[in-house]
Amino acid sequence: MTMGAMCEIYSAELDGVKVAVKIPRKDCEEPAVAEHDLEVELDVLKRVSHKHILGLIGAGNREQKPHRFLVLEFLELGTLADKLDGDAEEAANGSAFARRQKRTKKYLDFYMVTMLERSMELALALEHLHYHMPDMFIVHRDLKPDNVGFKADGTLKLFDFGLARVVKRRNRVNARYEMTGETGSMRYMAPEVVESLPYNEKVDVYAFGLLLWEMLEDRRVFDGMGVTDFYERVVNAGARPNLDSAWPQDLRKLISQCWHADVDRRPNFRTIAERLRTLYSNAKHSSKFCMSAINLNEDPHQKNRRGASVNVARSATTTNVVSPRGRSGGGPSSRTEIGGKKNGGGVFRRLGKMFNSRKGGAKPTLTHTAPEAYSRNGAGGFVEWGRRKRGRGDGGWGGFRGDSVGGRPCTGEGQARTRL
């Protein structure tokens, strides 16, 4: 069904129910590491039970190598990465009416309410990881669109816990822990992880801030940025994406706090979930429209001229984000460019109707500002927080190991686990 850096996913049936089976890749150069990741994921999934965390159905061993496998819920509607990367062919074939309609305030308000609901669900899943055990917490360490998926009814599911860690909690607030640095996907990696400093569960908060920006912008953060530029501008200079002035002020403040370089200034997921719940409720009730699902593929006037009725599904709370391909577990194979695919118009589906999402704006640029200053630089721009760090001087990934530039698969705990 799909293949990640370490594992591959197959669709199967168990007692008449479609499931996903996750096993280490046959061509994996370090199968012991892949099986270790599956054991970690199994341990985590046995500890959690939440509506928005992918469910574990079972696990077992095969006679042939690699032995270990997991049986997981199947994600019929694919991943958030599918939506962000989009489908270039569908975007190219979109009607002129669709392109006009998706720029209207009604559509953008509808999109905002939907994304706030989805982000609130993701925050609740992460709150469960961080707080459901009184003496321990689980840090995901690889939060990205590839690891957020959707069931057939649109239910959001967080998955892929191969890099997760179960950590014994200390009494001190915001205590740091010695864990492997340079672990996860570099695009979403918190500064303290990049620098191999002690860190805590707030690394998930940092990644969530970037993910929330992506959901609202409907495109990849730092898209198209090369490896060297990414390291110099984002890692060293502390660049952050611009926040659209049309977004609610409280939402912009929340995002900027989530990706703050200072760990102590990042909110926890209890606070994040509550603030998103308030933002979602306010947006849903203050919007001056009926939350109607809009058929963006066809002009209703054209339909009326042909004598067909216009069927508009009216729903606010049940509208769900979906994507064109079914998938569960694992991410895409490695790429050598931060940006991955070009923006191609993601997809919403609601009761069989299609919503071609907004394409990305201009190519990102960077501005240099004073510390803690914020500066807009047009659509898709970034801000510099003024943090200056020592350069690595190698013009590349600064010594990061792993599969991020097409090398050998990343190795086990205790070494860098960097992915794109």
What's the CA angle centered on 184, arms 178 and 186, to 5 degrees? 115
pLDDT given at position 225: 80
The sign of the torsion formed by the CA atoms of 136, 156, 341, 238 equals negative
pLDDT given at position 119: 97
Residue from 335, 419, 331, 404 nearest 79 by CA: 331
pLDDT given at position 79: 94
pLDDT given at position 223: 84
pLDDT given at position 196: 83
pLDDT given at position 66: 66
* SS3 annotation, the chain: CEECCCEEEEEEEECCEEEEEEEECCCCCCHHHHHHHHHHHHHHHHHCCCCCECCEEEEEECCCCCCEEEEEECCCCCEHHHHHHCCHHHHHCCCHHHHHHCCCHHHHHHHHHHHHHHHHHHHHHHHHHHHCCCCEEEECCCCCHHHEEECCCCCEEECCCCCCEEEECCCCCCCCECCCCCEEEHHHCCHHHHCCCCECCHHHHHHHHHHHHHHHHCCCCCCCCCHHHHHHHHHHCCEEECCCCCCCHHHHHHHHHHCCCCHHHCCCHHHHHHHHHHHHHHHHHHCCCCCECCCCCCCHHHHHHCCCCCCCCECCCCCCCCCCCCCCCCCCCCCCCCCCCCCCCCEEEECCEEEECCCCCCCCCCCCCCCCCCCCCCCCCEEECCCCCCCCCCCCCCCCCECCCCCCCCCCCCCCEEEC
pLDDT given at position 353: 31
pLDDT given at position 185: 81
The hierarchical CATH code for the domain 1-74 is 3.30.200.20
Q: Which long-range contacts (CB under 8 A, 24 or more apart) does 411-416 make?
A: 411/30, 411/33, 412/30, 412/32, 412/33, 412/36, 413/36, 413/180, 414/180, 415/180, 416/180, 416/181, 416/182, 416/183
Burial of 186 by CB count in 10 Å (0-12 exposed, 13-18 middle, 19+ buried)? buried
Is 142 noted as a catalytic residue in this protein? yes
- The residue ranges of the chain whose pLDDT is under 50 are 87-89, 91-92, 181, 288-415, 419-420
The one-letter code for the residue type at 211 is L
pLDDT given at position 67: 78
Say if domain 77-288 classifies as CATH 1.25.40.10: no
The one catalytic residue in 82, 142, 146, 160 is 142
pLDDT given at position 175: 59
pLDDT given at position 147: 95
For the record, the structure tokens of 207 come out as 């990644």
Residue ranges of domains in the chain: 1-74, 77-288
Q: Distance between CA atoms of 357 and 96, rounded to whole angstroms? A: 14
For the record, the structure tokens of 272 come out as 């994040």
What's the CA angle centered on 418, arms 178 and 381, to 5 degrees? 105
pLDDT given at position 226: 76
